[in-house]
């Protein structure tokens, strides 16, 4: 599953995970839920999701496109 937003992360967290009792998973699930509700920073929640997926060995990183790099560069002061 391609996860690109907090809403996608919430969906992914409801899928099968190797260990849904691990502290990293539980923290990510809590923060993503709070972000969806509007009481947590989406970036913080998404970073927790990425960390949990990495800890469980299910993170498959895709190389960023040149368009992303260009947009990031354009947004810098």
Q: Using an 8 Å Cβ cutoff, are 22 and 58 in contact?
A: no
pTM for this model (two decimals) = 0.78
54: pLDDT strictly greater than 80:
yes
Q: Decide which of 68 and 49 is more confident.
A: 49
- pLDDT one-digit tens code per residue, 63-74: 767 887 787 788
Say how far residue 49 (Cα) sits from the centre of its chain.
4
Residue 62 pLDDT: 74
Q: DSSP letters along 7-20, please?
A: HHHHHHHTS--S-T
pLDDT in tens, 17-43: 999 999 999 999 999 999 999 999 999
- Give how far the C-alpha of residue 54 lies from the chain's centroid of Cα atoms, to the nearest Å: 10
């Amino acid at each position: 599953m391609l996860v690109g937003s907090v809403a996608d992360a919430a969906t992914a967290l409801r899928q099968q995970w190797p260990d849904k009792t691990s502290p990293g998973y539980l923290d990510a699930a809590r923060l993503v839920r709070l972000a969806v509700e509007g009481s947590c920073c989406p970036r913080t929640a998404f970073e927790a999701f990425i960390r949990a997926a990495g800890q469980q060995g299910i993170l498959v990183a895709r190389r960023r496109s040149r368009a992303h790099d260009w947009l990031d560069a354009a947004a810098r002061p």
